Amino acid sequence: MSNQLSREKLLEAYRLMRTIREFEERLHVEFATGEIPGFVHLYAGEEASAVGTMLHLNDRDYVATTHRGHGHCIAKGVDVHGMMAEIYGRQTGVCKGKGGSMHIADLSKGMLGANGIVGAGGPLVCGAALAAKLKKTGGVGVCFFGDGASNQGTIFESMNLASVWRLPAIFVAENNGYAEATSSTWSVASDNIADRASGFGMPGVIVDGFDFFAVHEALGEAIERARGGGGPTLVEVKLSRYFGHFEGDAQTYRAPGEVQKLRDEKDCLKRFAERVVRAEMLSSDDLVKIDADVKTLIDDSVVKAKAAPLPTEADLLTDVYVSYP
Amino acid sequence: MPVTRIGLACDPQAALDKHNGDNPVASPITVGVIANPASGRDIRRLTTHASVFPTAEKANMVVRLIAGLGALGVDRVLTLRDRTGVAALLLRAIDTHKATGTAERWPEVEFVDLPITDSVADTHTGTAHMVREGVELIAVLGGDGTHRAVAAHCGGVPLLTLSTGTNNAFPDMREATVAGMAGALVASGVVPPDVALTRNKRLVVRCVAGPNRGREEIALVDVCVSRQRFVGARAVSEPSDIESLFLTFAAPDGIGLSSIGGAWAPVERTAPHGLHLTFALHDEDGFAKRDGGPDEIPDGVPIFAPIAPGRIDQVTMRTCERFEPGDWLPIDARRGTLAFDGEREIEIGRDDRYEISLDWSGPLTVDVSRTLRFSASRQLMREMAGASMRALMQAKTHAK
């Protein structure tokens, strides 16, 4: 397949990655004020994975993500104002303020939801992919999961089912090196998560998650293969997060200077910017303008979220049960 | 040059004495082993029908290799640590070998204490370290890319090549035990270098203008000017991406980009020249673009070639010329990427100017077939078996 990216696609890629970064960096600051309820798990540093994947998708494609799901939601097109309000627990949130950070969902965008249960996305995506196959929509299902979830039975069962039924499903293992505080070198028995693919009769590849272009190319192949009836693929994206497992995590399990080194040497946004400017496909002015636009967007989303009303007692039982006719 | 490093190289009898322990002043015969833990896992598992090369099989290959090395006299092996399991599995096999008291002679294996970066830098630093340690040769388990990485830092130390990668034109696909035996015969000097070793060609690309000025890269098989703007997932899998190709050799039964040259104008590894090919742009259906409409005769020759495992693709070749050693040819590209031995590595900027040259400064490699034929012609295996039996009898007598 052709992997040549147009100027418009590159602009979109940068805007989405910058939006995720700004969103997460701002939440890091805002969470410390104590105004945000619950937990947040930030995706900063991993933007290339979500955006490199999602640029190949549209609203007929379904995505299930993890507790670290803000980036996937933004890249899939979920409204940023609605997400910020949801994280603040406000009525204007995409789930009316009752889901919070770990349950952001928007079915109109094909976002099946962030999920507080580790490894729960696999079965959901198998269902979505089966529906797409039976209805012949041409859609695919993408399951994001981490190195911790890679050891869960739900993920194994889902990969097996997807392969047996030849589902248009893509399993994206975002291996950021830590399941909470446990290094994947201790907890993942196989040498690479991707190596497990052969046991399920599907291809497995490893891709550099700090490189948008590498992710975009590999996921493009996997998604095209799924759409064409070729069945599921496991893609292991090797990357790292800039913040703790959750906000407030002291990260004593990381080496001193580890994150700063990542920011200095492996920042996917910096790498992207350097390369597109050097290739003269985008200009520095293009990127600066996007940076400014995104900052305004995130500022506005925080202001509006804080000003929005909280759910009322009357909202407690709404949207909880489905009444079938 | 290995001729001077292998002290007894030109005297098989003296080398046999050394092998048999009759020369007490000889230093231990040491061989380096580099098994790339990352080879055989790139995007070609998805874009082609290439298989995953499991870590366990790489470790098994190393075990079989060192069995061959040890049996014919190598005393010491230096190898690299890794985080993906090759070293761990090797360690387990060594422990098992010691615990079972097997009579097979294995060399002492030392794991080099170098930082692990999980990148090609591990191969570069590991190779340089082994060269400093004075290894007689380096056995390499990997694909064309791994061999290229070792070749960039091995200097005059010969390579024993074993294929574990994807599109492998450079390394041999053969049983590691046999390769180990040949490697031992070369490392110990029993088979002289002028018989055992082959000098290889290489392609050198240098940047002569632009921000990367001064950068220099080598390739052992091919340099491809790709139309892809970014390095991305590295592999060159699409025929429409290939703008031009420089080859050191082109085997008609090869796999990968060099097979295109092999299908049209085969070039032996020993031939004094290489090849330079250019290709027409393809449309979305894989046909050469015709600006004058569908009735226009396409500008070039259509060729089928196995550019990847399970992928026989059509390319439209515009030109094919001999590429002579010594000339520096400007690479005519203002955009795109440069791929070395099948992997995109350099993104070309507008101001960048690159030149390419072919020379005979590629690595020395062990010709396993020729080495073992020489051994058979001199009955070296019989000599060694006899010496081994005599040593065993002496030991038993001494014990009584």
The mean pLDDT of B139-149, rounded to a whole number, is 94
| pLDDT above 60 for B19 | no
How far B372 CA lies from chain A's nearest CA (Å)? 36
Are the C-beta atoms of B32 and B135 separated by less than 8 Å? yes
> How far is the C-alpha of B256 from the C-alpha of B249, rounded, in Å?
12
Largest interatomic CA distance in chain A: 59
Q: Which residues of B35-53 are buried (b: 16+ CB within 10 A; e: fewer)?
A: bbbbbbbbbbbbbbebebb
Q: Is B330 helix (H, G, I), strand (E, B) or coil?
A: strand
- The whole-model pTM stands at 0.85
What is the average pLDDT value for chain B, to the nearest integer? 88
8-state DSSP, A240: -
The answer to whether A217 contacts B43, with C-beta atoms less than 8 Å apart, is yes
The mean pLDDT of B271-294, rounded to a whole number, is 76
- Closest Cα partner for A72 from A3, A10, A159, A141? A141
Asked if B42 has any chain A CB less than 8 Å from its own CB, the reply is: yes
The answer to whether B229 contacts A185, with C-beta atoms less than 8 Å apart, is no
* CB-CB neighbors (< 8 A) of B210 in chain A: none
Best mutation target, B39, B43, B86, B164, to test chain A (most A CBs within 10 A) = B43
Asked if B128 has any chain A CB less than 8 Å from its own CB, the reply is: no
Alpha-carbon dihedral of residues A222, A226, A231, A235, nearest 10 degrees?
20
pLDDT digits (tens, 9 = 90+) for A136-169: 999 999 999 999 999 999 999 999 999 999 999 9
The answer to whether B347 contacts A194, with C-beta atoms less than 8 Å apart, is no
Helix B368-377 vs helix B380-399: angle between axes, to the nearest 10 degrees? 70
The answer to whether A218 contacts B229, with C-beta atoms less than 8 Å apart, is no
Q: Is A18 helix (H, G, I), strand (E, B) or coil?
A: helix
The mean pLDDT of B43-68, rounded to a whole number, is 88
Half-sphere exposure of A318 (CA within 13 A, CB side): 10
Which position has the higher pLDDT, B121 or A186?
B121
The mean pLDDT of B20-48, rounded to a whole number, is 78
Asked if B52 has any chain A CB less than 8 Å from its own CB, the reply is: yes
Give the Å distances, CA to CA, from B35 to B70, B261, B315. 18, 29, 34
List, in sequence order, every residue forming a beta bridge with B204; answer none if it has no partner: B218, B357
Q: What is the pLDDT of residue A17?
A: 98
pLDDT digits (tens, 9 = 90+) for B107-133: 999 999 999 888 899 999 999 999 999
Q: What is the pLDDT of residue B192?
A: 96
Which position has the higher pLDDT, B52 or B233?
B233
Q: Which residues of A113-134 are buried (b: 16+ CB within 10 A; e: fewer)?
A: bbbbebbbbbbbbbbbbbebbe
Q: Which CATH class is domain A7-256+294-315?
A: alpha beta
Residue of A nearest to B344 (CA): A214
* CB-CB neighbors (< 8 A) of B45 in chain A: 203-205
Largest interatomic CA distance in chain B: 93
> How far is the C-alpha of B227 from the C-alpha of B4, rounded, in Å?
45
CA dihedral (A207, A211, A215, A220) positive or negative? negative
A-B CB pairs within 8 A amount to: 79
A314 token code pair: 């009357």
Q: What is the pLDDT of residue B144?
A: 93
Q: What is the pLDDT of residue B1?
A: 32
Say which residue the tokens 């590295």 belong to.
B234
Residue of A nearest to B337 (CA): A279
* CB-CB neighbors (< 8 A) of B233 in chain A: 207, 213-214, 217-218, 221
Angle at B81 between CA B75 and CA B85, to 5 degrees: 110
Q: What is the pLDDT of residue A93?
A: 97
The answer to whether B231 contacts A211, with C-beta atoms less than 8 Å apart, is yes
> How far is the C-alpha of B80 from the C-alpha of B146, rounded, in Å?
14
Give this complex's ipTM.
Answer: 0.79
* CB-CB neighbors (< 8 A) of B349 in chain A: 278-280
Give the Å distances, CA to CA, from A91 to A41, A72, A140, B180, B354. 22, 22, 31, 71, 59
The mean pLDDT of A278-290, rounded to a whole number, is 95
* CB-CB neighbors (< 8 A) of A280 in chain B: 349-350
Q: What is the pLDDT of residue A2?
A: 54
Are the C-beta atoms of B158 and B189 separated by less than 8 Å? no
**pLDDT bracket for residue A86 (50, 70, 90):** very high
Asked if B41 has any chain A CB less than 8 Å from its own CB, the reply is: yes
B207 token code pair: 């940047």
The answer to whether B229 contacts A5, with C-beta atoms less than 8 Å apart, is yes
> How far is the C-alpha of B398 from the C-alpha of B400, rounded, in Å?
5
CB atoms within 10 A of CB B351: 13
Q: What DSSP letter does each residue of B9-69 carry, written as one string?
A: TT-HHHHHHHHTT--TTPPPPEEEEEE-TTTT-STHHHHS-PPP--HHHHHHHHHHHHHHH
Give the Å distances, CA to CA, from B336 to A55, B331, B339. 22, 11, 10
Q: List the single residue in A207, A225, A281 with the smallest CB-CB distance to B233.
A: A207
The mean pLDDT of B370-380, rounded to a whole number, is 96
Asked if A85 has any chain B CB less than 8 Å from its own CB, the reply is: no
The answer to whether B229 contacts A279, with C-beta atoms less than 8 Å apart, is yes
> How far is the C-alpha of A237 from the C-alpha of A217, rounded, in Å?
12
The answer to whether A207 contacts B230, with C-beta atoms less than 8 Å apart, is no
Alpha-carbon dihedral of residues B287, B315, A203, B230, nearest 10 degrees?
-90
Angle at B390 between CA B385 and CA B391, to 5 degrees: 95
CB atoms within 10 A of CB A323: 4
Q: List the single residue in B45, B232, B284 with the smallest CB-CB distance to A214.
A: B232
Interface of B with A in 181-220 (CB under 8 A): 211
Interface of B with A in 306-345 (CB under 8 A): 335
B326: left (phi over 0), alpha (psi -120 to 50) or beta: left
The answer to whether A275 contacts B230, with C-beta atoms less than 8 Å apart, is yes
**pLDDT bracket for residue B2 (50, 70, 90):** very low
**pLDDT bracket for residue B104 (50, 70, 90):** confident
| pLDDT above 90 for B317 | yes
The residue ranges of every structural domain in chain B are: 2-200+363-399, 202-359
Are the C-beta atoms of A50 and A83 separated by less than 8 Å? no
The answer to whether B41 contacts A205, with C-beta atoms less than 8 Å apart, is yes
CB atoms within 10 A of CB B77: 26
Asked if A4 has any chain B CB less than 8 Å from its own CB, the reply is: yes
Q: List the single residue in A206, A213, A278 with the smallest CB-CB distance to B41.
A: A206
Q: List the single residue in A213, A233, A280 with the smallest CB-CB distance to B230.
A: A213
Q: What is the pLDDT of residue B9?
A: 35
Asked if B390 has any chain A CB less than 8 Å from its own CB, the reply is: no
> How far is the C-alpha of A84 from the C-alpha of A298, rounded, in Å?
9
Q: What is the pLDDT of residue B264?
A: 95
Are the C-beta atoms of B112 and B145 separated by less than 8 Å? no
Asked if A262 has any chain B CB less than 8 Å from its own CB, the reply is: no
Helices (H), B256-342: 258-264
Please provide residue B162's backbone torsions phi and psi, each rounded to the nearest 5 degrees.
Answer: -140, 130
Asked if B349 has any chain A CB less than 8 Å from its own CB, the reply is: yes
Asked if B278 has any chain A CB less than 8 Å from its own CB, the reply is: no
Q: Is B216 helix (H, G, I), strand (E, B) or coil?
A: strand
Q: Which CATH class is domain B202-359?
A: mainly beta
Q: How far apart are the first and last CA of chain B?
A: 47
pLDDT digits (tens, 9 = 90+) for B257-272: 999 999 999 999 999 9
8-state DSSP, A197: G
> How far is the C-alpha of A167 from the C-alpha of A232, rounded, in Å?
6
pLDDT digits (tens, 9 = 90+) for B169-183: 999 899 999 999 999
> How far is the C-alpha of B251 from the C-alpha of B307, rounded, in Å?
12
